[in-house]
Amino acid sequence: MATRPRTLGEWLSWAERQYARHQLALGQVATSAHDEALYLLLRTLDLPLDSKPAVLRKKTTAEENTRLAEVFRRRIEEHVPAAYLTREAWLGEHRFYVDERVIIPRSYFLEIIPQLAELFGCRAGSLTPPRSTRRQKGGISDPALQGIRLPTVKRAVDVCTGSGCLAILLAHQFPAAKVDAIELSTDALAVAKFNVATHRLATRVKLHHSDVFDAVPRVKYDVILSNPPYVPTRELRDLPAEFRNEPTMALDGGRDGLDIIRKLLRQSRERLQPHGVVVLEVGGLRAAMDRAFPELDLHWMHTMDGEDCVCLVQAHRLQAWRG
């Protein structure tokens, strides 16, 4: 560093230049270098995330400069994801502990779970979707789902729970529901256990060490939800370093990306209430999913950025399916 920044604003400008110069990958914590660098600055110095812009005029002490230099060195030179440096990730207003044992939560389910609540006719939970996602195409106003009104959610499951984040969102959204959370990695399960305890949900969210449903007691669910690994194996090596720093097991979906999804859909046939739904986040695999499972009549749910990479399958479609 030629001349060391002396204020937070100078640190921010310097960091933004470094992000561009070193082509750091974004998308795990924020989608712009400005937002991610500002987040790292504030968190590293224990300043509130909603600090006013005037905070940028704050002069940094020698000790703070040393801390910031080390954090940005690891982010820039080692491509360590920002969330692993701060040991936290946010979905909406919900904070989760994360470290290298789990993928960093960044799921569309923050938008989708409130839509499920509308489908199930319950609004009691505490997950408020961004205002702009309400009443859009998708959810209950979607013609394909209109007229469907399902009973209250009593049992839900998050398959491939990682940090436990989606099981926890489900439990917050459906306060009367029992929630199971399934995970094959014992490392990830330890993180999920910590997060469930921190959210004071240990009596309602039960963790299971299992390969999909293999070791889970046979109960029937109203909602089966999953953000499974879905990256085709050959594409893993082309991911930016930041994403390769996440557990391979959280990303690797096998030859065509559909290995876990196929198993999950097959096993869901016996795990779903007659009125139940399976909801899956599948990244860029929409076309592959439609090709692989035409009989399931997958319904693609709308998301704010138009990616529409979450699909819903109804129980009767699964029952009729011969896959």
Ligand X SMILES: C[S@@+](CC[C@H](N)C(=O)[O-])C[C@H]1O[C@@H](n2cnc3c(N)ncnc32)[C@H](O)[C@@H]1O
- Position closest to ligand X via CB: 162
**DSSP helix/strand/coil, 276:** strand
97 — phi, psi (to 5°)?
-75, 135
Strand order from edge to edge, sheet including 299-301? 205-209, 178-183, 155-159, 221-226, 272-281, 310-314, 299-301
Nearer of residues 38 and 272 to ligand X, judged by Cβ: 272
Buried b (16+ CB within 10 A) or exposed e, 270-301: ebbbeebbbbbbbbebbebbeebbeebbbbbb
Task: Indicate whether 195 belongs to the interface with ligand X (CB under 6 A).
Answer: no
Q: Which of residues 74-113 bind ligand X (CB under 6 A)?
A: 102-103, 105, 107
Size, binding site for ligand X by CB under 6 A: 23
Nearer of residues 36 and 183 to ligand X, judged by Cβ: 183
Q: Tell me the C-alpha distance between 19 and 31, whole Å.
A: 12
Q: Tell me the C-alpha distance between 18 and 111, whole Å.
A: 32
Task: Indicate whether 231 belongs to the interface with ligand X (CB under 6 A).
Answer: no
Nearer of residues 8 and 189 to ligand X, judged by Cβ: 189
DSSP secondary structure letter of residue 161 = -
Task: Indicate whether 228 belongs to the interface with ligand X (CB under 6 A).
Answer: yes
**DSSP helix/strand/coil, 103:** coil
Nearer of residues 162 and 276 to ligand X, judged by Cβ: 162
Q: How far is CA 303 from each of CA 43, 109, 138, 300, 307, rounded to the nearest angstrom? A: 29, 9, 8, 9, 6
Structure tokens at 83: 């969330």
Task: Indicate whether 138 belongs to the interface with ligand X (CB under 6 A).
Answer: no
Closest approach of Cβ 309 to ligand X, in Å? 12
Task: Indicate whether 185 belongs to the interface with ligand X (CB under 6 A).
Answer: yes
Closest approach of Cβ 252 to ligand X, in Å? 8
Which of 81, 229, 257, 276 contacts ligand X by CB under 6 A? Answer: 229
- x-marked contacts with ligand X along 155-184 as a string, rule CB under 6 A: -----xxxx-xx---------------xxx
63-71 long-range Cβ contacts below 8 angstroms, 24+ apart = 65/4, 65/5, 68/11, 68/41, 68/44, 69/1, 69/4, 71/40, 71/44
Q: Which segment (41-49, 193-201, 226-234, 315-323) binds ligand X by CB under 6 A? A: 226-234
Q: Which of residues 234-263 bind ligand X (CB under 6 A)?
A: 249-250, 260
Nearer of residues 139 and 229 to ligand X, judged by Cβ: 229
Task: Indicate whether 188 belongs to the interface with ligand X (CB under 6 A).
Answer: yes
Task: Indicate whether 298 belongs to the interface with ligand X (CB under 6 A).
Answer: no
Residues that bind ligand X (CB under 6 A): 102-103, 105, 107, 160-163, 165-166, 182-185, 188, 211-212, 227-229, 249-250, 260
